[in-house]
A and B are shown apart, each in its own frame.
Chain A
Amino acid sequence: MKILTCIKQVPASSNVDVDPETGVLIRDGKNVKMNPYDLYALETAYLLKARSGAHVHTVTMGPPSAADVLREALMMGSDGATLLSDPRFAGADVLATAYALSQMLRRIGFDLIICGKQTTDGDTAQVGPEIAEFLDVPHVSYVRDVDLRDDKTLRIRTVDDRHEDVLDIKLPCLITVDKDANTPRLPSFKRKRSTRDIRIETWTLDDLSDKEATHYGLRGSPTQVESIFPPERQATGRIHSNLENPGKTLFDILVEQKWLRGD
């Protein structure tokens, strides 16, 4: 069985702020890391690999520096990795991202594609299902447990607010893995050494079968981010310190804001 896992490099901290004067995004530090939700996707793949001897290949689309998260995946348990990177992909929204990835995934070949539930930056949770649609395979989102039922079918458990479902899904297919579905492993020093010689190939648009540049990046993106601004709330905070009677102050605030009636 061939499993492809999709991961994304995201800002290390989501503590971004927008300068209200200039509109510039202020991030604390320019560091990046692997999207934390993708760790559960990778672990799901490694668990299946341990049980059924699957081959796990990991891909990402991003700037050249995104090769770092692929290296990390190799250190955790992936058998191979490919980076999709081309300035012509710049400005891609979900549709253009999923389209480019689907072209790549089809060419690599797969029985199962595993994605994270969502990212911590774009935060849409849409890329996985859109890839499935482009590849004309079924998908199930927010998967908790997965096991191979037979060589053509996966048995899956999903949990949402109201239902816990057990589903059978035919291979080839795509799943997105819920957070806390498992306990992701850490990169291992042993694997760091044993995977040192694995070369991470970089593909560009020229490696995809659809070479029409207008289908990718900004030009292939129906949505446009017009502007970015800070959320309205915040900054209304008051710190009441050196109080004679803090319990009374809390009571007064609860009454004043009508959470409690004072009488």
Chain B
Amino acid sequence: MAYIKIRQEKVDKKTVEELKEICPFDAFDYIDAYLSINAACKMCKLCVQKGPEGVCELIEGTPASIDKGAYRGIAVFIETRNDTIHPVGWELIGKARELVADTTNPVHALIIGPSTARAAELALAYGVDKVTAYEHEDYRYHDLERITDIVADFCKRTRLNVLLIGGTPYGRSLAPRIAARLKTGLTADCTKLEMTDEGDLVQIRPAFGGNIMARIVTPAHRPQLATIRHKMFNAPAPATPFGVIDRLSEAAGKQRDRVRLVSTRVRPQVDDIADAETIIALGRAFKKKKDLALVEPLRKALSAELACTRPLIENGWFDARRQIGLSGRTVKPKLLVNIGISGAVQYIEGIRDAECILTVNTDPECALASISHHTIVGDLYDVLPTLNDHLKKNGRVPS
């Protein structure tokens, strides 16, 4: 496989400086007039492409070759716990269908648990060619090691090409175990997937807190594993099933009993801003608690959830679950309206996935302005009353 060779004879102070400037990962060490690349290198190849001519050279080794044609199909892991089935699985089935379109590759659903019938029926309706249901009363949700045994065995037995797993807390904990067992690659939180003719999965994912996107491939290992967050892709409309169910009821995998559930509590789903599609967030610019009522007409008109920055939690004006940011919630609404918020880094960390951001602030240079789609420069004590008049005039809120 490839590595980067440094032509020491071409190295001088200037080239070292240039390379250090280019390398995003601080991978160059220049010690005793010898330039070397340390363990921080991520093989992004920027030093080769953008660096001073001829200093860094990419030496392509012979890539370990595998017979890519021998691996077929995409399987989607369906996460079930007691009677609940996580809907991200249906979204991934939809994506898998798109990826295998125009090929003869099958889409599988993989279900493991004490009762699988309902999930299996649903998976068929969402359009899989085959459901493999491992059903046994001894299968425990929290026994990731046993689940790994079963999934790994399935992948080997079917010579699977791609395994997609929902990027839920559970999926993000299980998937790496499977990847390490199979000694294969796993790409986290993909936002875009494509398939080449050879069956290589091209995986696009954000890193550095969403500031950059990386295009990642797993060229010489199978299966290729990826996790994808809930609501990244759309679930297909359920249709007349055409697939088959393979139910395996013999106990598979090894029972180890190293993790045991002692007790569990289902958390009430009320008021979760993390899932809200429309959010109005309020900041320190509100002088008094009663001023918060100024946003009520807009909240009603948009059917929005209210959220806030940390100072308002500290004032005791809101339940702590309504705080957005690093020490609060991460939100991903389609529309976020910020009113009187500056955009501290800790706040911005929580709103990266908002699709459309509108901001009202007296300061055109507030940090939020640089990431907002529209910034209205104005005083909220002027903006909101006027807005409310317009909302009322247009019959958007009951007067």
Contact = CB atoms under 8 A, between A and B. Distances in A.
Interface string A244-263: 01111111011001011111
Contacts of A75: none
A125 B376 contact: no
Contact of B22 (A24, A125, A141, A164): A24
A227 B207 CA distance: 12
Contacts of B388: 247
B212 A228 contact: yes
Interface string A69-102: 0000000000000000111111111110011000
Contacts of A30: 20, 26
Contacts of A170: 257-259
Give the interface residue-count category, chain A: 35 or more
Contacts of A94: 176, 179, 186
Contacts of B184: 95, 222
Interface in A42-93: 61-65, 85-93
Nearest to B377: A241
Contacts of B358: 250, 253-254
Binding site of A, secondary structure by majority: helix, strand, loop or mixed? Answer: mixed
Contact of A22 (B50, B186, B265): B50
A250 B209 CA distance: 29
B133 to A, nearest CB: 22
Contact of B176 (A123, A130, A155, A257): A130
A251 B391 contact: yes
Contacts of B364: 239, 241
A15 B383 CA distance: 31
B144 A95 contact: no
A63 B27 contact: yes
Interface in B248-284: 256-267, 269, 272, 274, 278
Interface in A160-206: 160-170, 173, 179-180
Nearest to A138: B258
Contacts of A61: 39
B335 A259 contact: yes
A263 B211 contact: no
A210 interface: no
A151 interface: no
A193 B274 CA distance: 44
Contact of A164 (B170, B211, B212, B267): B267
Interface in B18-38: 20, 22, 24, 26-27, 29, 36-38
Contact of A251 (B46, B174, B179, B387): B387
A140 interface: yes
Interface string B38-53: 1111111010011000
Contact of B169 (A160, A240, A254): A160
B220 A63 contact: no
Contacts of B24: 16, 24-25, 27, 228
A60 B383 CA distance: 52
A221 interface: yes
Nearest to A155: B262
Contact of A228 (B213, B383, B384): B213
Given A129-B180, A164-B265, A259-B335, 15 more contacts: A23-B46, A123-B206, A129-B174, A129-B176, A130-B180, A163-B267, A221-B185, A222-B185, A230-B212, A240-B374, A241-B375, A247-B387, A248-B386, A251-B390, A261-B396
Interface of B: 1-3, 20, 22, 24, 26-27, 29, 36-44, 46, 49-50, 81, 84, 142, 144-145, 148, 168-170, 172-177, 179-181, 183-189, 202, 206-221, 256-267, 269, 272, 274, 278, 301-302, 326-327, 335, 345, 356, 358, 360, 364, 369-379, 382-391, 394-396
12 contacts: A90-B38, A123-B207, A124-B189, A125-B172, A125-B188, A139-B177, A166-B261, A167-B262, A222-B220, A243-B376, A247-B383, A259-B278
Ranked 9 nearest A-B pairs via Cβ:
A247-B386, A246-B378, A222-B185, A25-B24, A223-B185, A133-B180, A124-B188, A90-B41, A141-B173
